[in-house]
Amino acid sequence: MVGAPPLGEVDVVDGALTNPLAHAVATALAVAGSPRAEDVAGIESELLRANDIESDDTSCVRITTAHGIPVTVAATLCAEEPDEPYVVAHGELGRITFWYKEDRVLVQRAGRGPEESVYGRTDLLENLVRHLAQDAPLLVPPELTGAFMRVVEAIRLAPDPLALPASAWRTAPGERAPRRIVTGVDRVVAASAETLTLFSELGAPWARSTEASTP
């Protein structure tokens, strides 16, 4: 079981991919046009931890969609240089990078200069209130979260995260408490997103394949 001890009979799934960076997973699936449960054909995950916790803090997942589009999400809470999370869509003629916490989009196309835009945000909580009070349609109905829930379930059923050896991380001082940093993790996370590969496939010395599953 991944996460904190069960609360009664309910598992707690509280790792990097399913809590602090869950929006990256859900957003990537939506951008790929695969938000529904039936859009997921297979899931591979690698769950690791540098900290002395029960859950994962450095992980990646590769989702094979029914449309044949691979979606890879790499995440860590042990970055060398903490940065804003982003989703990148690769295409034959260019790429789009979306920093979803900043509502910022960068479009890069062959033969044209980069174009960056910042968009307004739609408050989903306000939409939910209007739905309950005025019967307004939900912008994100439950069926459009099915693919993300398939990922959560695959991680819940995966083996416990592998503890990284002490040689793979170092301790840095923090404002509240010391923080563990995984050596080279920034480069590996970026390469995983760029090449749609898992940590172990990139040859990171601290990365070991932990699970490959098809739900």
- Residue-wise pLDDT for 45-94, tens only, equals 999 999 999 899 999 999 999 999 999 999 999 999 989 999 999 988 99
Q: Which residue is it, tokens 């809470």?
A: 77
Q: Determine contact, residues 17/57, Cβ cutoff 8 Å.
A: no
Determine whether domain 22-202 maps to CATH 3.40.630.
no
Q: Which pLDDT does position 133 carry in this prediction?
A: 96
Burial class (CB in 10 A: 0-12, 13-18, 19+), 83: exposed
Q: Which pLDDT does position 10 carry in this prediction?
A: 76
User: Which residues of the chain, if any, have pLDDT below 50?
Assistant: 1-5, 210-215
Residues, the chain:
215
Q: Which residues contact 166 (CB under 8 A, 6 or more apart)?
A: none
Strands 211-213 and 162-163: unpaired
Can you read off the two tokens belonging to residue 137? Answer: 């349609």
Ramachandran region, residue 38 (left: φ > 0; alpha: ψ -120 to 50; beta: rest): alpha
**Mean pLDDT over all residues of the chain?**
90
Q: Which pLDDT does position 208 carry in this prediction?
A: 63
Model confidence, pTM: 0.88
CA–CA separation, 191 and 24 (whole Å): 16
Q: What is the sign, positive or negative, of the torsion defined by CA atoms of 114, 82, 76, 192?
A: positive
Strands 40-49 and 162-163: parallel
Q: Which pLDDT does position 141 carry in this prediction?
A: 95
Burial class (CB in 10 A: 0-12, 13-18, 19+), 196: middle
What is the Cβ-side half-sphere exposure of residue 133, based on CA atoms within 13 angstroms? 6
Q: Which pLDDT does position 190 carry in this prediction?
A: 95
